Structure 1
Amino acid sequence: MTQRAVRETLRDERRDPGPDDDPAGVPADDGEHAASGDDDGGTPPSDGDDDGIPASGEDAPAPDSGGGRRPRRRMLKWVAAVLALVLLGAAGAGYVYYRHLNGNIKQNPLNLGDHKVAEPTPNAAGQTPLNILLIGSDARDSKANQDLGGARETFGSTPLADVQMLLHLSADRTNMSVISMPRDTLVRIPKCTDPEDGTVYEASNGRTMTNQSLGHGGPGCTVATWQELTGIHIDHFVMVDFAGVVAMADAVGGVPVCVDANILSRDSQGHGSGLKLPEGTHPVKGEQALQWLRTRYGFEDGSDLARAKAQHMYMNSLARELRENADLSNPNKLRRLAEEATRALTVDPGLDTVKKLYDLSNELRRVDPERITMTTMPNRYVGARVEPTEDAEQLFRLVREDIALDGKDEEPAAEAAKEKKSAASAEPAAPDDRIAVQVVNGTRTDTLGTASGRASTVAGLLQEKGFTGATADTVGSLSERLTLVRYPSADLKGDALRVAEALGVPASSVRQSTDVSGVTLVVGADWREGTAYEAPEQDDTTPESAKALNGADDSACMKVDPAYTWS
């Protein structure tokens, strides 16, 4: 196809999407995705072997305002920006707009669980943020993927979501945040139903490693797990497979990465990705890029946390490189990249056509590397696994409230809070005397026992304020650092916000949760006495434990474990 024909196809697509661009249709489950991780599932260096692939496909969709034809050079810059920010996604498709590429893209339902999170309230300009879950699977379900290595016993087995990254694009499209969750984080996996065969996977009994969520019906269960843990509304997901990572990394050219010493990621037992690089900064592509993304043995302490840091470094470097990469002016390279990208992708129905991915590029192209922040979910060890900490909840709250993790929001915090409070009060609610509220005592802490009678006291306070349906749970008790109002479904959000408003509880402490059957007030450790709630001062800074890495930081260099060096 000539370049002129490509441009005419693009113009026709934008004028008339046609049947191939219909986002409706029955999703088909296909387990190819993007990849990562060791087969052992453990975080500590001594756990298992390193044969997975932490690759990330970053994707974030949003409607495009349309517009006429633009100069080719400018279009190429948009494409480059998408490739950088969607990391190994379907970026080149914005230029190479072939209809048959739509058929390459695999799709799965967005959410397989019962847990739904209400969409965020639009800002003053009517804009809402975009949240995209990027999933890497250790599936080895094709010859191409198996040829790339990994433990033989995992071929054809139930895939694990060994890379999970939440990409948040701000409502005003000025900044982007990424949160990586370690694959062995202990979470509650909700009840999910496999869309292909109808198999019902009951909610996990207790906490389970988050990477197992993918095996409970597909990526939609991983989405459901994230939403239940974080309270963040997720708009889309993207998965990319092993072979796709290699092919796309090769198609876009080398990405500079840095190590502070010679590294060979391989030990005497055969553990490691096989990455071999001399000290300094070097471009990696193809299989070597894949090795970088999957390396655990040899980076810092050999944990998944160190590997996430290396992934962030790669993603930021790719973002910078592609904004100035002249190789993308080659139409053949763009076409090859588009082919590989679309074949590698598994997405939800909202991203299932090239046009939707092209529209996405128009949103992502606005974000400069200086406004991209990569983080890892703050965590602590529980035996050989990890769990979220209080800092993790703070990080999740910043994303829920669309607060930039780089601390460079232009809108004053006080005005933003006022605007959000006003928007929250607009949610429809039943009359106070018609709102049923259960009050639970959650004042227990690691060092203090449960404060006696708090559920009854606060329930009485609500009744005095006109909430005659308020009752105290005098049997149960919880442990919550902050006072929260929980509600099970979107239709009760307004009622929950009204209860919070009556008590002076901030809207940020109102959460949707399937753990409750109705509006539930949990009196936290911050309200152990008295009848007047004083909300603690909110800290809107990114926790240091999130190990934030700015997208413009080109000085980052991975520390090499001396046991994995060579001379």
Structure 2
Amino acid sequence: MSADSTPEPGIPDPAQTGPSRRGKGRRRKPQGRSRKALLVTAWTAAGVVVLGGVGAGYVYFKLNGNLKSVDIDQALGNDRPTKIDNGSENILVLGSDTRAGKNRKLGGGTDDGSARSDTAMIVHVYEGHRKADVVSIPRDTLVDRPQCTDTKGTAHPAASGVMFNEAYSTGGAACAVKTVESISGIRMDHYLEVDFEGFQKLVDDLGGVQVSTTRAIADPQSHLHLKAGTHTLDGQQALGLVRTRHGVGDGSDLGRIQLQQAFVKALMDQVKHVGVFSNPKKLYDLGDTATKSVTTDSDLGSVDSLIDFANGLKGISSSHMKMVTMPVRYDPADPNRVLLEKSKAQLVWNALKNDKPIPRSATEGTATGEAKGVVNAP
């Protein structure tokens, strides 16, 4: 994920490893137990896997067996936007709040085995794979969800004026992809999903992620209490940071997205500087955690495919990644929802289709959440 030219070593046998070491507007009403997105690690998970190189023997097959994949192409068929053949790639990165097992404790709610998503990121990798733009889609955006068929073959009828994250809870990955493609008119080349437990463990395996806060953050709901200054966050604290919405900004989901975007950059920098090449144990732990944490489209459903994919992304540093939120405005009928600013959003989609930078005018004057600059990489 960085421009580091150090060659990737193979993953060693664990037995031979060494020791480890709203824009301005009405304030949104506080919500109860919320279902928080953890999409922020999916973008870097593939980069973590590539740090291990192509393994062999037991380790390779173990990591390969960790991966889960879904056949998006088969579920959606041919009723999709035309693939853009200009050297760029578009990846839908989704956070999964699975209400099963250990994730129930991390995400709240009941252990009903269900899964939800709060926010999605469209990651556009430019031709040459040296820079990227990321467009976050707020979970509270009211959209018209198209008819879709999930990966089990069940058809779900279209619905109007529903929250964006309802697509995932209705029909899983395939319906989420279908909805994003309907909104943007852009075909998603790949799909990556990560869950709560994997996010927390990945941060811990990295040895924490360093961020700086320009003001104190106190949010009992996400169990996060940070003074202004520089912090090395462990997995639980990082989880609290990307979940908090009442501790900073205007209390909206849009503010939380700004925190998530800042954390993505800090996480990328940490992957670059963590020094896993000299620590085989950490190398293996990261590969094991990353492959257990992600669900991919079927084209990326093997270690070899994921490594090839990640190899094409590792030249992108955080300084060459622009992150924006899909242009939205607060719903005058409900301050807890947002509506797509269609004309401005079209500027975003046109830029991505043509592999051009997103113009500043696309996001000027739109709702933001007022949390930008609260958290930064040090």
TM norm. shorter chain > 0.5: yes
Q: Determine the C-alpha separation between the residues in 2 that align with 1:188 and 1:328.
A: 47
Q: Is the 8 A contact 1:96 1:338 kept in 2?
A: no
Q: Which residue of 1 aligns with 2:293?
A: 344
Q: Deviations over 1:507-529 (max 9, x none)?
A: xxxxxxxxxxxxxxxxxxxxxxx
The amino acid that maps onto 1:116 is R
CA contact (8 A) 1:90 1:342 kept: yes
> 1:109 corresponds to which letter in structure 2?
D
TM-score, L = length of structure 2? 0.83
Bigger Rg, which one? 1
Residues in 2 aligned to 1:160 and 1:4: alpha-carbon distance in whole angstroms: 37
TM-score, L = length of structure 1: 0.56
| Shift in CA distance, 179/7, structure 1 to aligned 2, threshold 3 Å | same
What CA deviation, in whole Å up to 9, does each residue of 1:5-33 have, x standing for no partner?
Answer: 8479xxxxxxxxxxxxxxxxxxxxxxxxx
Letter in 2 for 1:210: F
User: What are the superposed Cα offsets for residues 442-470 of structure 1, whole Å, 9 maximum, x if unpaired?
Assistant: xxxxxxxxxxxxxxxxxxxxxxxxxxxxx
Which residue, out of 63, 66, 71, partners 1:101? 63
Residues 212-259 of structure 1: CA deviation (Å, up to 9, x unaligned): 111232201100100011011101111111111111111112212232
Of 348, 363, 370, 1:543 maps to 363
Q: CA RMSD in A?
A: 2.7
Q: Which runs of 4+ in 1 moved over 6 A?
A: none
Conserved? CA contact 1:104–1:343, under 8 Å: yes
Name the count of aligned residue pairs: 344
Distance 1:188 1:249, change over 3 A: same
1:341 positional shift: 1.0
- Confirm or deny: 8 A CA contact 1:55 1:290 kept in the other structure: no
In 1: Cα distance, 2:98 partner to 2:9 partner: 40
The structural deviation recorded for 1:326 is: 2.3
Q: Which secondary structure does the structure 1 equivalent of 2:191 belong to? A: strand
Q: Which has the higher contact order (CA 8 A, sep 6+)?
A: 2
How big is each residue's C-alpha offset from its partner over 1:360-409, in whole Å with a ceiling of 9 and x where there is no partner? 2221122233221011111011223111102122112111111123xxxx
Cα distance change of structure 1 residues 278 and 158 upon mapping to structure 2, 3 Å threshold: same
Question: Which residue does the alignment assign to 1:129?
Answer: 88
Aligned to 2:118: 162
| Structure 1 partner of 2:22 | none
Match of 1:318 in 2: 267
* Secondary structure, aligned partner of 2:119: strand
Identical aligned pairs, as a percentage?
31
Letter of the structure 2 residue corresponding to residue 110 of structure 1: I
Residue deviations 1:189-228 (CA, integer Å, cap 9, x gap): 11122332x3221111x22111011123220110010001
CA gap 1:202/1:90 in 2 versus in 1, 3 angstroms? farther
Match of 2:327 among 375, 378, 381: 378
* TM-fit CA distance, 1:327: 4.7
CA contact (8 A) 2:218 2:226 kept: yes
Q: Is the 8 A contact 1:391 1:545 kept in 2?
A: no
Match of 2:192 in 1: 238
Give the letter for the 2:82 counterpart. Answer: A
- Structure 1: how far apart are the matches of 2:279 and 2:365? 42
Structure 1: distance between partners of 2:280 and 2:223: 33
Report the equivalent of 2:169.
215
Asked whether the 8 Å contact 1:193–1:216 carries over to 2, the reply is no
Residue type matched to 1:264 in 2? A
Distance 1:145 1:91, change over 3 A: farther
Equivalent position of 2:40 in the other structure: 56
> Is this contact kept in 2: 1:95–1:334, CA < 8 A?
no
> Residue 306 of structure 1: SS of its match in structure 2?
helix
Match of 1:329 in 2: 278
Question: Could you say which residue in structure 2 is the equivalent of 1:225?
Answer: 179
Residue identity opposite 2:83 in structure 1 = E
- C-alpha distance in 2, partners of 1:320/1:51? 27
Judged with a 3 Å threshold, the aligned counterparts in structure 2 of structure 1 residues 374 and 545 are, in CA distance, closer, same or farther, namely farther
Pairing 1:53-202 to 2, within 5 Å after superposition = 53-59=37-43, 86=46, 90-94=49-53, 96=55, 98-111=60-73, 112-113=75-76, 115-122=79-86, 128-142=87-101, 144-152=102-110, 155-156=111-112, 158-196=114-152, 198-202=153-157
Determine the C-alpha separation between the residues in 1 that align with 2:213 and 2:146.
40
Give the SS at the match of 1:207: strand
Cα distance in 2 between the residues matched to 1:137 and 1:116: 23
Bigger CA drift: 392-401 or 251-260?
Answer: 251-260
What are structure 1's unaligned runs of at least 5 residues?
9-42, 60-81, 123-127, 267-271, 406-538, 549-554, 560-567
Consecutive unaligned residues in structure 2, runs of 5 or more = 1-7, 14-26
Which secondary structure does the structure 1 equivalent of 2:215 belong to? coil
Tell me how far apart the structure 1 counterparts of residues 210 and 36 of structure 2 sit (CA, whole Å): 22
Q: Distance in 1 between the 2:374 and 2:277 partners?
A: 26
